[in-house]
Every structure is written in structure tokens, then in C-alpha cells.
Structure 1
Amino acid sequence: MALEANERPNKPIAKFESMLKTDDVYFFDAEDFEDIIHHYLNHGKIALAKKAIKISLRQHPDSIALKLLDVEVLVFENNLDRAEELLDKLQLLDSSNEEIFIQRANIYSKKDNHEVAVKLLKRALELSDDGYDIHSLLGMEYLFMDDFKLAKESFMRCVDFDDQDYSSLYNVIYCFDFLEDFEGAIIYLNEYLDRNPYCEVAWHQLGKQYYAKHMYKEALTAFDFAIISDDSFIGAYFEKGKVLEKLGKYSEAIENYETTIQIEDPTSHAYLRIGKCYEHLGNDEMAKYYYYQTVHEDPLLDKGWLAITDFYYSKEDFDKALYYINKALNIDGENPTYWKKSAGINASLKNYDQADFSFKQAVELGNYELDTWLNWADVARCNKDYEAGIHILSQGLEFYPDSAEIQYKTVGLHLLANDKINARIRLMDALKINSGKIHLFEEEFPDYFKTEWAQNIIANNKRASR
């Protein structure tokens, strides 16, 4: 039985939830149902939203707005065929409803057909009196299409509608960053701050743009204004600390990182930066303390384990460095950076077989950096496995075909393998690529460099290049 008006809860959501707990039936206006359903959707309570839709359509079977909310849930749950059927029916009833085109766009977006989604959203924009949400959706579709220029323009329109739409503001700057248009971002943010001088988000983003352009003085000023606008803004303190580090002001940087810890629970990233600062200040005990705090706070943070490893490596305490890189590998054996570091440490300890294995793991996991190939070849050379070294360098050459470092090292390994024919060919190739780096060959293989045949090839190359 329906209750009298004076017996019902005042707020629609409380009233609806009260109804669900009883057998009573309350009547709601269609607009109240819309508010209730939007509330549940915004809070991710899909089951309650579906209940509200079901009950609402019993009480208001002709409400297009409620049926469109039903469609929205169907799209969210990937029940796209059913959603399209309902939209076809609704479009016959109201062909000028922009929400119908928005939901159709959502369906095409789910199907990865973003071009059609954009066309539908543009049609919705033509029908809408307020295109704020549609511009936001357009921006996201353009991001899916990697069209950062148009995405930026769409999100800019959102910010024009609402200066407090920080989500769109972040997206605008994201697009500038992707386009590597730091100058454009700086101009845009300064214009925004002319209108909103106390916006800590904009000051923070402006500081990051200045930081990217190595304009550290300007970055400090921007972060200071972000802190003035909101003295509990952790991100501003953290970024300010990074700038102070760049300027060599490590004690001041520590103060800013410590402020982030005081404002909120400590983070591994703050501990790590503090440790780095203490290491720069020559305070090894404090550096170690904060590095250990880093990995205690987040055992999966690779930079933490690498910082401890690098700390001991720099002290030439290779045994401890090996101990900590092995701990890191026990946590994440799929990390190529860990394996590369392990290779370098084992090479320093003359554990060449283990170094060879570690380099192999690093490469198999995707580390193709130039020095990886060069150092791995050096390990093969230490093992007197010159053929393996040549093979390693040939693999590296696929990634760095113009690398003089690889070419000259290959010449030397051919000579060590008593393969003078290929050594001559490689030396001529190396000189063609970069004769100016012949010193690499001289420094690493001085005895071979001084040979008559090598000097003749070098002299012939000089004459040919005149």
C-alpha cells in the first residue's frame, strides 16, 4: 500500500532505500527517479540503479529520460544489441533528443569505431543547448583516435564552460605534453591563471611545464604560488623538491619532501628522493636509512632497490650490491633493468658466466640499450668467447646500424678470433660510418691499431674522403 505524503521520508534517495526494505510502494516523480538513478550510477552502485530503473518504468512507462537511463546501463554492461533496439524505438518517438545520439556514440565507441562516435556526438552537439558534456565526450574520442590537437580543443571548450573543471584542464595539458608543445601549455596556463589567480592546480601544472623546459627559477615561483593557494597541496611540495634538487639545494629539497610526509601518510617516492638528497650531501647513513624506508614502504618499487644497489655499487661494495639486486630479482624476475644491473655487478665481481646469463635475461625481457650490447660483448671477451661476442654485437647492430662503437668493437673481436679478413672488412665499414671515432678502436685495441695493415686502411680512408 502506498503511504501518505506526510509519512514518507523527505529525501528521494532515503525514501527509495526505505521502500526497498519494506513491502510498501512509494510513488516518485520521474525527475526524482532520475536523481536516484544518477546517484547510484555516479557511485558505481549498478545493481541499485537497475532496481530503480525497473521500478521507475513501472510508474512512468512513457518516460523517455528513464528509458535512456536504462540504455545507459545496458551500454555500461556491454549489452549493446539490446541497447540499440531500445534506441531505435526511442528515436521514432523523439528524433531530436541529443541523449539518443550520445548513447549511440557510446555504443560505437565501445565497438572501437571512434570515427562514427565522433559524427554522432557532433550531431548531438547540434541538438544540444548546453554542449559541455558532449565536448568532454568528443575529447575522449579524439584521444582514442590519437588526435591530440582536436582532443585539446574539445577539452579547452569544457574549461571555457567551467573554469573549475580540473579534469578537463588536466586533459588539455596532457594533450599539450603529448604534442611536446610546452610553450603553448605555458601560454594557455598563464591565460587561465589571469582569470583564476588562486587555482593551485593550474600553478602546479605551470610549474611542471617550466620544469620540462629546464626553467627552474620560473618553476619554483609557480610551485610557490600553488602552495600559497593551497598549503596542503602535496604535489606542489614534491615537485618543488625536485626543482631544488636540480639546483643543488638538497637541504631545502629535503624540507619540502618531509612536508609531504607530514601532511599525509609517507610515500616510498618521498623517502627515495630524501635518500637521494642525503647521498648528494655525503650523509651516507641517512641516505641508507631512507633507501631502506623506501623499500619497506613499497617493496615493489624498482627504483628503491636500484637506489640501494647503486649506493653500494658506487662504494665498490659489489657483494652487497649483488645481495640487494638479487632481492629485487626475487620480487620481480621479469624486470629487465634488474637483470642489466645484475649483469654489471657480476661483471665487476668477475662472475662472467652469471653476467652473461643476466645480460641474456635483460635482452630477452626487452632491454635493447646500446651499452647493453657493448657490455655484454665485453663479458664474452672476458670469457674468451669471441664468436659469442661477435654474435652479440651483430644483434646490437640490428638496433643501432650506425653505431661506430659496435663497429669498432666488432673489428677487435674478429682480430681476437684470428679472423683478419672480416676484421679488415669491418674496419673499412666502421671508417665509412664514422672515421672520427677511430680513437675507440685505438683505445680498446691499441696493439691492433698500431699494425701496418690497420694503419694502411685508415690512411686509404683519409685519402678517399678528401
Structure 2
Amino acid sequence: MEEEFLDFDDNQEMESIEEIAKQYADLKNGISGNILSEMAFELLIDYYDEQQNLNKALEVALTSREYYPFSAELMVKHADLLIADRKYNLSLDILEQARLLNSDDINIYILKVDALLALNEIDQAFEVFHTSLNMFEEDEKLDLLFEYVDVFDDYEVFDMVFDCLKMILDIAPNDEVALYKICYWVEFTGRFEESIRIHQKIIDSNPYNELAWFNLAAAFQGLKLYEKAIDAYQYAITINEKFDIAYRNLGDVYIRLRKFKEAIEALTTVVELTRPEDVLYEAIGHCHHKLQNFPLARLNYRKASHMQPDDNKLHYKIALTYMDELKWPNAIKSLEASLQIASAPEAHLALGECLLHQSAFNEAIYHFGIAVKQKPRNIPNWEALIKGLYAAGFFEEAEKQAQFALEATGQRPIFHFYIAMTLFAQAKNKEGLLQLELGMHHAPRLFRKVLELNPGIMQNSRVVDILARYNKSRH
């Protein structure tokens, strides 16, 4: 009996994939003499591939080639699956067969580069890459380059990702996808100067290309040429007044330049143009904080906190605004809220400071101690603990902790001065003078940091003599 081929009429609805799978099973089991069409095999291969059933997809691909041994399309699908199965050399052999049958299929070259990169045959992969680019023009070349972008990304050949995008923009300078993508890869590869040249060339021929202006600004920003970045972002915004990403980046540049009023204006525009985000409110709060607009800073930090209730740092930042206003009870409340979410040394340190101002010495010392325990090499934490103990009159314990601090921080000279002050407070003048000598020998300028503990120590003539001697030797 003559074999019949199951095919699809272009004018009829395509049979369901389940029916094709049944027909394939009948074919494999010898129940039916009907042979699936190339298209049916391709659909079935794609179906199993999408279902992540690689073994079944490979089986169908191999079977399809028995019936259509000269189908370049089926060879390419088979080779693609073999790459997924890490059979790279076999895949390359099949791709070469497919190339001899149909050298115009861009997928052959994409998969060849994929397989060669997997085998770490970098030079051969680049050779195929460059050869293929000379074979295609315009739209096909663009398609090829976009595919190569993904392949080189997968194998972390990041400079080639940038190079492909650059080639795309040489052909199609207004391609939005390429313009969006290259902005990310410029930052990732650090090729800022090159990006400036690329986008200046695009702008010369199309001065109203907002994405080119944006990318130019981002490249200037990457080089910390902030004034030039501002100019370019403003051009982008002039072309498209609803360009929210440009306003966002502009806000970041203004913050870096400490132009907080301008940053607030830019970031507020982003909030108006897009959905509110906690990071935007936090950044606006930061700007108001720097401008000492403490109520407005808190308002924006709270807006951010409502959107991210589990972010302990936002409560901490609210507390800092109260501390700047010397509103210790309010600050304590915010810090306690922060610590309920997560324990952080900076929050314990700040809470200790607030409690110290409230003369709650024991509680303050407790929180300073936690800060030290969490970051035992942090000098400010140790200083806060020692100062707290000193303020509470626990001079012996302060001396002990200053000795621990000296060891924990790698013999930092500042702690010789703290030890000296605690010894003077205990009327151990001889030992105190020895520690003062050590401190002055290593870092004489640090003495003023500890003088606030007991300014009256300057009435001690022997202390003054030591200070004078080292100050004289410095000059």
C-alpha cells in the first residue's frame, strides 16, 4: 500500500498537538502507515521541548530525520536539542550538514557559535560569527546580531554583547530595543567613552532621539561628568517631558552633586509620572534631611515605610531626624520600632546615644554593648561604650573596655587616650601619664577627641608638659 503523508492545509485549522502526538505514536508502533509532515514533526518537537521533555523531543527529532533526511529545518531543530543535551560535537556535525543544504538559515550560525562557545573554542566561535555577518544584509543581519547578543550573554562574553549592540546601532541607529539594551551593557562593561562616541554620532543625525540623549547622559554619569550628564538628561526630558527614567537618573546626579532641592524636584516628577516606589520616597526624604527639612524628611520616610513595613532602616532614618532636632523621646520610639524589625548595630548605637541624653545610663551602656558585640572591630562603637561608662561614673569598667578595644581594633592609638582618661578619673595619675605618652607618640592629634570627657585635665601641669613636648616636636 502506498504511504500517505499527513499535512496541513494552509486554509484549514491545524490539527491539535494531541492528535499529532497520537499519530506519531501510531507511526512508531506500526499501527499506521501514515507519515507526519515536516511541519507536524516540527510542531511535535517544539511541544516536547516546551514541556521540558528533552528526551522525547530528541526521539521525535531523530525519527523525523529518518523520514526527511534532507530537511535542513529538522536538522537545525535536532542540533538545537543536542546542544541542550550537551552533545556539542554531534550538534556541530549536523549543523554543517544543514549548512550544505541551506546556507541562508541564520539559526545554523547562531547554534554553531553556541556549541563552539560551550566547547570553549573561542577563536572558532568568533570566526563563525564574523563569517556569518558578511553573509546577510539589513533585516536578516539585525536578527542575527540580536540572537548573538543572547548567546554571548549566556556564555558571559560581555564585551561581544556590547559589540553586537554597537553593530546593530550602526545599521539601525534608532532601534529602541538596542538603545535600551546598550545602556545597561555600557555600565556593565564600563565602556563609557565608547558609548559617548556612539550616541553623539546618533544624535548628530537624529537630534530628537531621546534614548540616544539618555544613553549619552548615562555614559557621562558613569564617568562622573555630572554637569554634562545633567545637560544631556535635560535634552532627553525636553524631547519627552514624560521620560520618567531620565528624571530618576537626573535626581541621582543632583544628589551626588549635593543639589538636594533640584533632586527633590526631579524625583517628585518621577512619583507623579509613575507608580510611587519606596526607594523614591526614601531618596526624597534623604534630600529633605540633608536640607534640614526634618518634618518633610520624616513624611517621605514614613511614606516609604508604609510601602516597606519590614524595612528597619527607614525607622532608623526617621529617628535620625528626631536626633538632629534633639527630640530624644521621639527618636527612642522610632529606634525601638527599628529594632523590633531587625537588630542592627547602628540602631543600637543611636539608641544608646539617645538614652545617654536622657541620663538612662545603664540602658545606654546595654545598647552600646550590643553594638560592640555585633561589630567588634568598629571604633565608634567602642568609643560610645567607653564614653557611656565614663559618663555613668564606671571608670574602672571604662578602663577595662578601653583595654579590650585596644586589642580588638589592632592597637588603635585613640584607645591609649581613653585608657589614660579613665586612669586619671581613678586618680591613677602615673599609669595615666604613661598611656598618654603612648597615645601622643603614635597619634598626637587624636587627643582632642577624648578631651571632652574631662576638659579639666588641662589643669594638670604634667599633662600639659607632655602635650607641649609632642606639639613642639611636630613643628
TM-score calculated relative to the size of structure 2: 0.70
Tell me the secondary structure at the aligned position of residue 409 of structure 2. helix
Q: After TM superposition, give the deviation of residue 295 of structure 1 in Å.
A: 0.6
Tell me whether 1:435 sits opposite 2:441 in the alignment. no
Aligned residue in 2 for 1:408: 417
* 1:70 paired residue among 77, 81, 90: 81
- Distance (whole Å) between structure 1 residues aligned to residue 319 and residue 462 of structure 2: 45
Aligned residue in 1 for 2:405: 393
Q: After TM superposition, give the deviation of residue 29 of structure 1 in Å.
A: 4.5
Alignment of structure 1 residues 322-401 onto 2, 5 Å? 322-333=332-343, 335-366=344-375, 368-383=377-392, 384=394, 385-395=397-407, 397-398=409-410
Aligned residue in 2 for 1:264: 274
Aligned residue in 2 for 1:59: 64
Q: After TM superposition, give the deviation of residue 461 of structure 1 in Å.
A: 3.8
Code of the residue aligned with 1:397 in structure 2: it is T
Tell me whether 1:293 sits opposite 2:303 in the alignment. yes
Contact 1:441 1:449 in 2 (8 A): no
Aligned residue in 1 for 2:235: 225
Closer/same/farther in 2, CA of residues 168 and 237 from structure 1, 3 Å limit: closer
- Distance (whole Å) between structure 2 residues aligned to residue 213 and residue 372 of structure 1: 35
Closer/same/farther in 2, CA of residues 94 and 423 from structure 1, 3 Å limit: farther
Aligned residue in 2 for 1:47: 52
- Distance (whole Å) between structure 2 residues aligned to residue 123 and residue 302 of structure 1: 53
Contact 2:323 2:354 in 1 (8 A): yes
- Distance (whole Å) between structure 1 residues aligned to residue 51 and residue 348 of structure 2: 45
- Distance (whole Å) between structure 1 residues aligned to residue 51 and residue 355 of structure 2: 55
Contact 1:158 1:165 in 2 (8 A): no
Q: After TM superposition, give the deviation of residue 427 of structure 1 in Å.
A: 2.6
Contact 2:338 2:347 in 1 (8 A): yes
* 1:175 paired residue among 171, 183, 189: 189
Aligned residue in 2 for 1:6: 9
Q: CA-to-partner distance for each residue in 1:160-188, whole Å, 9 max, x for gaps?
A: 22232643442232332xxxxxxx72x33
Compare 260-269 and 386-395 and name the one that shifted more: 386-395
Q: After TM superposition, give the deviation of residue 209 of structure 1 in Å.
A: 5.6
Contact 2:79 2:94 in 1 (8 A): no
Code of the residue aligned with 1:127 in structure 2: it is V
Tell me the secondary structure at the aligned position of residue 60 of structure 1. helix
**Contiguous gaps of at least 5 residues in structure 1:** 75-82, 107-116, 144-150, 177-183
Code of the residue aligned with 1:65 in structure 2: it is V
Alignment of structure 1 residues 140-289 onto 2, 5 Å? 153-163=159-169, 164=178, 166-176=180-190, 185=192, 187-197=193-203, 200=210, 203-204=213-214, 206-208=216-218, 210=220, 215-244=225-254, 253-278=263-288, 286-289=296-299
After superposition, the CA RMSD in angstroms is: 4.3
- Distance (whole Å) between structure 1 residues aligned to residue 409 and residue 357 of structure 2: 25
Aligned residue in 1 for 2:126: 125
- Distance (whole Å) between structure 1 residues aligned to residue 324 and residue 472 of structure 2: 45
Code of the residue aligned with 1:19 in structure 2: it is I
- Distance (whole Å) between structure 1 residues aligned to residue 272 and residue 294 of structure 2: 23
Closer/same/farther in 2, CA of residues 199 and 433 from structure 1, 3 Å limit: farther
Identity value in percent = 15
Q: After TM superposition, give the deviation of residue 270 of structure 1 in Å.
A: 1.9
Q: After TM superposition, give the deviation of residue 296 of structure 1 in Å.
A: 0.6
* Number of aligned positions between the proteins: 415
**Contiguous gaps of at least 5 residues in structure 2:** 25-35, 98-107, 134-144, 170-177
| Greater C-alpha radius of gyration | 2
Q: After TM superposition, give the deviation of residue 356 of structure 1 in Å.
A: 3.5
Closer/same/farther in 2, CA of residues 459 and 345 from structure 1, 3 Å limit: closer
Contact 1:386 1:416 in 2 (8 A): no
Closer/same/farther in 2, CA of residues 370 and 236 from structure 1, 3 Å limit: farther
Q: After TM superposition, give the deviation of residue 268 of structure 1 in Å.
A: 1.0
Code of the residue aligned with 1:269 in structure 2: it is V
- Distance (whole Å) between structure 2 residues aligned to residue 53 and residue 233 of structure 1: 47
Tell me the secondary structure at the aligned position of residue 162 of structure 1. helix
Tell me the secondary structure at the aligned position of residue 266 of structure 1. coil
- Distance (whole Å) between structure 1 residues aligned to residue 407 and residue 19 of structure 2: 69
Contact 2:199 2:216 in 1 (8 A): no
Contact 2:279 2:304 in 1 (8 A): yes
Contact 2:382 2:405 in 1 (8 A): yes
